[in-house]
Amino acid sequence: RSHCCKLQEEEEEEEEEEGEEVTEAPAVSALSSPVLLASGCLSAGIRAGSGPVQSTSVRSGPNWFRVAAMLSPLRILLCAAKCQPTRHCSSFVSRMRYVNRLKEDDASCLAALHNSHIFLFHHLSPLLQRTERGTFRPPALISSDVQSVLERLGSDGSLLKESVLIGCSEQNQAQFCLDVGELDQAAVEEECGGNFVELRKSYFLLTGAEAPLLAKGQALLRWHQTSRFCSATGQLTLRNQAGSQRVCSSSGIVYYPKMSPVVIVLVSDGKRCLLARQSSFPRGMYSALAGFCDMGESLEETLCREVAEEVGLEVQSISYSSSQHWPFPHSSFMLGCHATISPAHTQLDVDHTELEDARWFGLEEITSALQVKTPPRRGDPPVLWVPQKHAIANRLIMEWMNRQRVSEGGVTSRL
């Protein structure tokens, strides 16, 4: 039985026992859902031909998990048929609840791990495969295949349990990450037909939606590698099966993965936007202003303080854009905003201990900078460029450009 489906059923039974009201879509929508119908094929390691990440089989023969997985489409249909006509069978809701259950229930999580997709890392560098089109993607390996690879390379078999849960695919398949740093890198690469590529480089190579998934996996793996001991007692901490928490073996203190909140802001004076560079940035790259939140600060307070500290300006208004998890150098939670300052007070007073340079840029310069898709090489003429598309700085700059085009009477065109 598909664990996702089973858990969903159990949940429904529980809810019914509790007498909760249900307002749901007809079961027929679940029956004809391509997501549900496709999930069995994917769990059996058959390519479904759609979606950004597909499962990859790594040389292994049939086994019980595979057989069980091949029967899962039928079970999913039966399960869907049992759905009450008024129940809303949203696959998003069931996936979120499934993942939450796996975090709370070690036995279910272990069972899910044995019929899951796994992204491999080696010393925190993700495994990438080159596709036939010459692009790169992280292969979602079938867990039984990973187990066979581990055994062939001399691991005692317990390594698989070190995997951390990162989510559930749209095909209802639990997704995990595993760091195989204790095995020979070249041997794993040969077995899996790919290469371990440092995450920063991977960000430049990945074209699909997998970059945030890898960032999340790397962040969790790193957190486990650096959180083995309790900071209060000095004793070992033990993880749950999902890897969503660690508990001190002596005091019972519970630790959760940490992120540092950072505000990133694109300041505008109405005609121009403000970009800055640190001396550690690659040549020619400018970005939006960013800074870590101090303890106790609100987003707005951090934003105003950072702008005042770094460039000596006073912010007039703030609007929130979006957020992202940023893995470099460690886990930051980036809160992206736009801010305006008075056109009458635009003179910069740059703090050169933090920034090498900060400057106002007009629409034309920003438009050209966004067109630079790869960092200039050594010897190339100097050129202004901005962080690549996975970075929230890029999104803020793009948003500013599009708005500016409208306000200056031009045509909006997304690059």
Ligand X SMILES: NC(=O)C1=CN([C@@H]2O[C@H](COP(=O)(O)OP(=O)(O)OC[C@H]3O[C@@H](n4cnc5c(N)ncnc54)[C@H](O)[C@@H]3O)[C@@H](O)[C@H]2O)C=CC1
For residues 26 and 87, the answer to whether their CB atoms sit within 8 Å is: no
In whole angstroms, how close is the CB of 311 to ligand X at the nearest point? 13
Q: Does 167 bind ligand X (CB under 6 A)?
A: no
Choose between 128 and 393: whose C-beta lies nearer to ligand X. 393
Tokens of 413: 């065109």
Q: Does 264 bind ligand X (CB under 6 A)?
A: yes
In whole angstroms, how close is the CB of 164 to ligand X at the nearest point? 21
What CA–CA distances, in Å, run from 224 to 11, 150, 184, 238, 247?
A: 30, 20, 21, 10, 12
In whole angstroms, how close is the CB of 3 to ligand X at the nearest point? 35
- Which of the stretches 13-21, 155-163, 190-198, 286-294 binds ligand X when contact is defined by CB under 6 A? 286-294
Please, how many CA atoms are within 13 Å of residue 91, restricted to the half-sphere of its CB? 19
* Helix segments in 18-142, DSSP class H: 27-31, 34-43, 64-81, 91-104, 106-113
Q: Does 334 bind ligand X (CB under 6 A)?
A: yes
Choose between 229 and 333: whose C-beta lies nearer to ligand X. 333
- Which of the stretches 153-161, 249-257, 283-291, 344-352 binds ligand X when contact is defined by CB under 6 A? 283-291
In whole angstroms, how close is the CB of 166 to ligand X at the nearest point? 20
**Alpha-carbon torsion angle 138, 142, 147, 150, nearest 10:** -20
263 — phi, psi (to 5°)? -100, 130
DSSP secondary structure code for residue 13 in this structure: H
How many residues in the shown chain lie near ligand X by CB under 6 A? 15
What lies within 8 Å, CB to CB, of 19 at 6+ separation is none
In whole angstroms, how close is the CB of 248 to ligand X at the nearest point? 23
Choose between 281 and 360: whose C-beta lies nearer to ligand X. 281
Q: Does 287 bind ligand X (CB under 6 A)?
A: yes
In whole angstroms, how close is the CB of 215 to ligand X at the nearest point? 10
For residues 415 and 371, the answer to whether their CB atoms sit within 8 Å is: yes
Among residues 192, 392, 397, 401, the one that binds ligand X under rule CB under 6 A: 392
Q: What does the per-residue mask of binding to ligand X show for 216-255, with x meaning CB under 6 A?
A: ----------------------------------------
Indicate the helix (H) or strand (E) that contains 260.
strand 260-268
The sign of the dihedral angle between the CA atoms of 177, 179, 185, 191 is: negative
- Which of the stretches 58-66, 188-196, 257-265, 342-350 binds ligand X when contact is defined by CB under 6 A? 257-265
Largest Cα span, the chain = 72
Question: Distance (Å, rounded) from C-alpha 141 to C-alpha 116?
Answer: 8
Question: Distance (Å, rounded) from C-alpha 81 to C-alpha 217?
Answer: 35
Q: Does 64 bind ligand X (CB under 6 A)?
A: no
Q: Does 326 bind ligand X (CB under 6 A)?
A: yes
Site for ligand X in 362-391 (CB under 6 A): 387, 391
Tokens of 296: 């106790």
SS3 299: helix
- Which of the stretches 206-214, 246-254, 287-295, 343-351 binds ligand X when contact is defined by CB under 6 A? 287-295
The sign of the dihedral angle between the CA atoms of 30, 51, 163, 159 is: positive
In whole angstroms, how close is the CB of 326 to ligand X at the nearest point? 4
- Which of the stretches 144-152, 176-184, 289-297, 344-352 binds ligand X when contact is defined by CB under 6 A? 289-297
Question: Distance (Å, rounded) from C-alpha 245 to C-alpha 241?
Answer: 9
Q: Does 328 bind ligand X (CB under 6 A)?
A: yes
Q: Does 322 bind ligand X (CB under 6 A)?
A: no
Q: Does 332 bind ligand X (CB under 6 A)?
A: yes
What lies within 8 Å, CB to CB, of 170 at 6+ separation is 35, 51, 91, 95
The sign of the dihedral angle between the CA atoms of 264, 268, 273, 279 is: negative
Indicate the helix (H) or strand (E) that contains 166.
strand 164-168
Among residues 393, 400, 401, 404, the one that binds ligand X under rule CB under 6 A: 393
Q: Does 291 bind ligand X (CB under 6 A)?
A: yes
SS3 234: coil
Choose between 321 and 367: whose C-beta lies nearer to ligand X. 321
In whole angstroms, how close is the CB of 317 to ligand X at the nearest point? 22
Among residues 34, 292, 362, 408, the one that binds ligand X under rule CB under 6 A: 292
Choose between 80 and 290: whose C-beta lies nearer to ligand X. 290
- Which of the stretches 84-92, 162-170, 313-321, 326-334 binds ligand X when contact is defined by CB under 6 A? 326-334
Question: Distance (Å, rounded) from C-alpha 26 to C-alpha 33?
Answer: 12
Question: Distance (Å, rounded) from C-alpha 169 to C-alpha 138?
Answer: 14
Please give the residue ranges that form the binding site for ligand X (CB under 6 A).
Answer: 260, 262, 264, 287, 290-292, 326, 328, 332, 334, 387, 391-393
